[in-house]
Amino acid sequence: MSVLVIGGDEITPIKAVLKNLGCEKITHWDGRKESINHKDLPQNIACLVMLTNFLNHNTMRKFRSAAKKKEIPVICAKRSVSCLYCEFIKTFGESCKKACPCEN
């Protein structure tokens, strides 16, 4: 599975979790510059992950609607490994085994 992660500066722990969940190719856009809003989603992604702590509303709205048009699943999470893990599991139809700290 190919994943695009938007947001966050250093996502090494997040990449590790995604690889453990079966993602082979992980592309990362940090989202710091406004020029990101002029990019289009890559053709070959199977999932879009948005790290909400680091994105403005316009960027989130643009990429969420682009993913919806292409029927690509969108995962919105804080820059937290446990929150990302739980949201990924929920999106792809499995139940989270432990209580997710991001739901509290």
What CATH number does the domain containing 43 carry? 3.40.50.2300
pLDDT at site 73: 95
Angstrom distances, CA of residue 65 to CA of 10, 73, 76, 83, 100: 25, 11, 13, 22, 27
**What is the tally of structural domains in the chain?**
1
Cβ pair 79, 14 in contact under 8 A: yes
Q: What percent of the chain is predicted at pLDDT more than 90?
A: 49
Of 65-74, 81-90, 93-102, the range with the lowest mean pLDDT is 93-102
CA dihedral sign, ordered 46, 68, 37, 102:
negative
pLDDT at 103 > cutoff 80: no
Domain region containing 83: 2-103
Provide the pLDDT confidence category of residue 100 given band limits of 50, 70 and 90.
low
pLDDT at site 33: 81
CA proximity to 39, closest of 49, 51, 31: 31
pLDDT at site 102: 52
pLDDT at site 51: 92
pLDDT at site 104: 46
User: What value does the mean pLDDT take over residues 17-38?
Assistant: 89
User: What value does the mean pLDDT take over residues 32-59?
Assistant: 89
